[in-house]
Amino acid sequence: MLSSAFSSANMKKEDEIANNPEISLLKTAESSVLPKANMDGKSPREIYLFSNFLSDAEVITFKSEAFDRLNDSRKNLIANGLSPLVCNLIGNISINTERTCFLLLLDAMIHCYKILAKRRFLLQTEWVQLQYPMIVLSKIRELFLPGEFICENSRSKRKLPVNLMVKDRLLAHILCLAIILDYENISLPITPWAKELGAAEPKITKMATALGCNVIAATAAEGVRLGTLRIARLVGPPQKSKKRFSGRSTAGRGR
């Protein structure tokens, strides 16, 4: 009887969360929304690994293509559709060509999220128009969009239903990858990313906090340079652990 009461209460709470876009699953660090975290990492740079996004074999397969696509001026890259925020993360890709694979994946994830920002489906025509390497598109389908494009009736266009959990999972992985690609600071400016993704700043803040970030006020210099009042900085693993790190690590060079 007691077990049944608890079960009923839990189901009611789950329904409330699922039906409330503001709550979603942001408060649950153990949920399937967040990337896999290394809870035993000794520094913030060791919490989220690049292998969450692409395997070594996948990187080797298309790093030359990714490098060729990103080895251009900022002006040309943006003119060709690359997100300005991804451009900000490029750095010297000649030193580490593998980095370009993750930058290109991040740009594709951003593009998909912007399509899905105001609705819960992706049209097949939109998907086939995406101009990214096949490995990038396959990885996005694998991680976020594993379903099939369907027609609801004879007059409708083929589309892939996308629920709120999938959208939040995509958002969490976008923010996580952006943070670890900023290897020097392991951080993310809130305002520019909220604008780029068409998301409210509180949603970005909650997701960054769920990932294990502290959200702090930007210094005057950071505010001018980054165009933000607040910065999310990864300090440790998600909320399941009380362990937190401070300061900058001397861990080896990242991607």
Element at 222 (helix H, strand E): helix 220-226
In 3D space, the residue among 27, 33, 18 whose CA is nearest the CA of residue 170 turns out to be 33
What does the block give as tokens for 152? 């609801």
Of 104 and 13, the one with more pLDDT: 104
91: left (phi over 0), alpha (psi -120 to 50) or beta: left
Instruction: With beta carbons less than 8 A apart as the criterion, state whether 109 and 143 touch.
Output: no
- Taking the domains of the chain in order of start, what are their residue ranges? 43-185
Statement: residue 253 has pLDDT above 50: no
CA angle 130, 56, 41 (to 5 degrees): 110
Q: 52 burial class (0-12, 13-18, 19+ CB within 10 angstroms)?
A: middle
Q: Which of 27-31, 32-36, 37-41 has the least mean pLDDT?
A: 27-31
Q: What is the pLDDT of residues 79-102, one digit of tens each?
A: 999 999 999 999 889 889 999 999
Q: What single DSSP character describes residue 151?
A: -
What's the pTM value of the predicted model, to 2 decimals?
A: 0.83
Query: Measured between alpha carbons, how far is 180 from 172 in angstroms, rounded to an integer?
Result: 12
Mean pLDDT across 229-252:
67
Q: What is the pLDDT of residues 155-204, one digit of tens each?
A: 889 999 999 999 999 999 999 999 999 999 999 999 999 999 999 999 99
Mean pLDDT across 212-235:
94
Measured over the CA atoms of residue 237, residue 243, residue 249 and residue 251, the dihedral's sign is negative
Query: Measured between alpha carbons, how far is 233 from 197 in angstroms, rounded to an integer?
Result: 19
In 3D space, the residue among 240, 220, 215, 214 whose CA is nearest the CA of residue 230 turns out to be 215
Q: Which of 11-25, 38-52, 119-133, 206-220 has the least mean pLDDT?
A: 11-25
CA angle 213, 173, 236 (to 5 degrees): 25
In 3D space, the residue among 107, 209, 219, 207 whose CA is nearest the CA of residue 165 turns out to be 207
CA angle 10, 14, 15 (to 5 degrees): 120
Q: What pLDDT, on a 0 to 100 scale, did the predictor assign at position 241?
A: 43
Instruction: With beta carbons less than 8 A apart as the criterion, state whether 190 and 231 touch.
Output: yes
Query: Measured between alpha carbons, how far is 146 from 127 in angstroms, rounded to an integer?
Result: 13
Mean pLDDT across 17-24:
48
- Can you give the length of the chain in residues? 255
Element at 233 (helix H, strand E): strand 230-234
Give the C-alpha distances (Å, rounded to integers) separating 135 from 8, 102, 244: 43, 11, 35
Of 14 and 19, the one with more pLDDT: 19
